[in-house]
A and B are shown apart, each in its own frame.
Chain A
Amino acid sequence: MNHLFKINNRLIPLVVTLILFVFMYAFGMFRYTNFSSPQVFLNLFIDNAFLIVVAVGMTFVILTGGIDLSVGSVIALTSMVAASLLLAGLSPFVVFPLALLIGPILGFLMGCCIHYFHLQPFIVTLAGMFLARGLALLINVQTIPITDDVFRFMARTRIPIGDYFISISVIIALIVVGIGVYVAHFTKFGRSVYAIGGSEQSALLMGLPVGKTKILVYTISGFCASLAGLLFTFYMLSGYGLHANGLELNAIAAVVIGGTLLTGGVGYVAGSVLGVLMLGTIQSLIAYEGSLSAWWTRIAVGVLLLLFIVLHRVILLREEKRKDKVGSMEEKESKAS
């Protein structure tokens, strides 16, 4: 009994998310006939590809115990830079790498501030958020439509899967998820991220490259945000300084709902994808319901956040309690064996 519990402990939030997701989806299929079409499921990915990419980057940041509030603004800045460079007549193949540089550079600088000057991630990335949004709006206050053929191709190509289809963005997002899982679980860097989230002091004493890892984590999150910015640009086919306003909250919510502890050290990249799908399902359900209005999404996300934050807290408290009691039992167990 006790044994089972222990293995499940860090998986509990993830299992809860999965059950909730299946339940909600089944509810949708039961209530709306159209909902059972596999295309609805694929649309979850198509509509949220950029959010998946952002969430992967955010997962790494939160795993170290930090937070990145700048991602929404970086998406806006990336889309704005891409759109205005295209407008200036640059080739899309020059635009891509340039746009993809924005996030990592900003992320690197923020990481340095956090590591070298011991500033709180919250404040530093808040400044990054202002900065990126401000720069985007400084470039242009208006929406810049994109007519470039490559962008249109990226936006409109449908990749068939049987009778249904996905977009190129979905492929990119899934590749990012794959790389994210690999990095988190099968590389030294990934394990250092978890170690820092568990105890930064210990990580330091064990000789792990704490500073390098922390800076890199924000750089990665910046890169993911920029890549998401491009995907978002494909999706909207325009650059606009107010794109993705408040998206950072959705990304954080997705990560938390996906079972990652906001205090760091525990969580899964794949869980964050599930978190995004969950948010997407809520949105679809509310859209299908028709009579329900869009703001219910926010309330639902808030309620879910509360649920998971309290769940994490309860698990943590119970673990602490149990550790006091079980300590000696554990001892006997290992002796006996």
Chain B
Amino acid sequence: MKVNTPIIEMIDISKIFPGVRALSNVSFRLFPGEVHSLMGENGAGKSTLVKVLTGVHNHDGGTIQIEEQPMEVISPLHAQQLGISTVYQEVNLCPNLSVVENIFIGRELMKRGFIDWKKMNKRAEELLAKLNINIDVTKELSTYSVAIQQMVAIARSLNISSKVLILDEPTSSLDVNEVNQLFECINNLKKEGMAILFISHFLDQVYEISDRITVLRNGEFIGEYLTEDLPRLELISKMVGKELKQLENKLNTEEKEEEPSKNDLFLEAVKLTKKGKIQPFDLKLYSGEIYGLAGLLGSGRTEMARLLFGADKVDEGEIKMKGQTIQLNSPKQAIRNGVAFCSENRKAEGIIPELSIRENMILAIQGIKGWFKYIPHKKQVEIADEYIRLLNINPPNPEQLIKNLSGGNQQKVLLARWLITNPNLLILDEPTRGIDVGAKAEIQKLMLELKDEGKSILFISSELEEVVRTCRRIAVLRDRQKISEIKNNEQIDHQYIMQEIAGGN
């Protein structure tokens, strides 16, 4: 049953952050009794749009209408009062409180100055029963699985008698059964007339649950479609854009066809698993080769890389290096074995903000050398200067603090940190994200040079053109699983890989 008037209508919304236009003239409609997916690559403006709607951010242009009334949402609390509730990717509840409390906190039922625990327990059970959940509500939230915690979060929003439910990446840490349980619950709510805004990186799920899809790209509104009218491939091409800029740095055709020789096998993963993160996978990495990992964000790419680097504990499976089984229990061990890992999360896992370019660069090599084989200051400056020149880092001052550099230059410093250790295998997780075109081309060129020097490179990128241009073999990941491995040749283009990622059809 569709009602003709949208409960929420956002018209020509613009949002400008200092130096960035995060949203420009984006429109969005949400009808009661439908599940509407908001799709777009990372940085397309999905979260910004949600934050504008929930009053976390104010908007700089356009209007929001709620039930056909123009409305300014001024705070998350105000949004709740208007009947808009949000359930975030990381459960935003208090793990130390009981389930009941997490549902009611902030609006407890009172009786003569006391909290009425009995009545609240009963209400909580009723609410959860609606979602087909039957649990002891007086137990701490932390004793339940993430899926249940998500349901509790939803129950909390039901208790506020909300009309609009925003689910921001609710499934990213759930397994298949848990997802089914969540979807059952979403369908129930839909039947009752709730309007649901769903955000997910999992294409299968989007197609399973949603009635309508709105696509954003680079902060711009691309279009609104009925799910049945939008084939997967088209969706992906709308998400990533079609522009195919040919750059000069490209793998030669002959090289693509070349068979990797057994002698060059550097690292092999056999049935490597981490529960809830990545399904068992096999992987062979050869020297003198760039190996690509393609897949949407959250498909298990980073998790795969972290296992190969010893950053996470392996649950099952083994890693062989040059035929020998080795244990990689810590990054330190991996680094000593010639593996380097450039994390996609520059800020949290890469840079040491208070330290200089020079110090950030020599950190990994110094880690190998230990406490007492300190590289003399003069040598450090020489190394830093060399890589500043090589990678064209701006400003070319080794004593500049890294926090004062632009994203692209920070990335280059981190690359330098690993190049200095002269690794045999370089894992690059989204090395080109959020940096300008020039820097991107430079990094690609560097990768090809390193490959020619005989290094093995594992390249993770959301930009499929980049992957196609540089990699000899490409693994495709979907829903935390390695789906297939593609041998790159003239017939392969980013459309083909998109199709693989999309699957289904």
Please list the residues of chain A having a beta carbon within 8 angstroms of any beta carbon in chain B: 6-7, 9-10, 182, 185-188, 191-192, 194-195, 197-199, 201-203, 205-208, 265-266, 319, 323-324, 326-328, 330-331, 334-335, 337
Q: Give the contact stretch, choosing among B89-97, B325-333, B381-389.
A: B89-97
B101 at the interface (CB under 8 A from A): yes
Known contacts A191-B108, A206-B105; is-contact A328 B175 (Cβ 8 Å): yes
Contact of A6 among B139, B146, B178 (CB under 8 A): B139
- Pair A205/B92 contact, Cβ less than 8 Å: yes
- Pair B106/A199 contact, Cβ less than 8 Å: no
Bound-state CA distance A195–B145 (Å) is 19
Known contacts A188-B106, A188-B115, A207-B80; is-contact A323 B142 (Cβ 8 Å): yes
* B residues in contact with A191, CB < 8 Å: 97, 101, 105, 108, 115
- Pair B133/A186 contact, Cβ less than 8 Å: no
* 6 A-B pairs with least C-beta separation: A198-B94, A198-B96, A265-B96, A327-B145, A207-B77, A186-B114
- Pair A202/B147 contact, Cβ less than 8 Å: no
CB proximity to A under 8 Å, residues B18-66 = none
A312 to chain B, nearest CB (A): 12
* A residues in contact with B181, CB < 8 Å: 331, 335
User: How many residues from B make CB contacts under 8 Å with A?
Assistant: 37
Chain B contact residues: over half helix, strand or loop, or mixed?
Answer: loop
- Pair B96/A197 contact, Cβ less than 8 Å: yes
* A residues in contact with B261, CB < 8 Å: none
Q: A185-B115, A195-B101 are in contact. List 19 more A-B contacts (CB 8 A).
A: A6-B140, A186-B115, A187-B114, A191-B97, A191-B108, A195-B97, A199-B92, A199-B94, A199-B96, A206-B94, A206-B106, A207-B76, A207-B80, A265-B96, A323-B143, A328-B175, A330-B144, A334-B134, A337-B135
B266 at the interface (CB under 8 A from A): no
A78 to chain B, nearest CB (A): 30
B148 at the interface (CB under 8 A from A): yes
Bound-state CA distance A201–B94 (Å) is 9
Bound-state CA distance A116–B93 (Å) is 23
* A residues in contact with B276, CB < 8 Å: 327
The contact sample of 15 A-B pairs, CB cut-off 8 A, is A6-B139, A6-B143, A188-B108, A191-B97, A191-B101, A198-B96, A198-B97, A205-B76, A205-B88, A207-B106, A208-B105, A265-B96, A319-B142, A331-B178, A337-B134
CB proximity to A under 8 Å, residues B54-88 = 76-77, 80, 88
- Pair B92/A202 contact, Cβ less than 8 Å: yes
CB proximity to A under 8 Å, residues B387-446 = none
A320 to chain B, nearest CB (A): 9
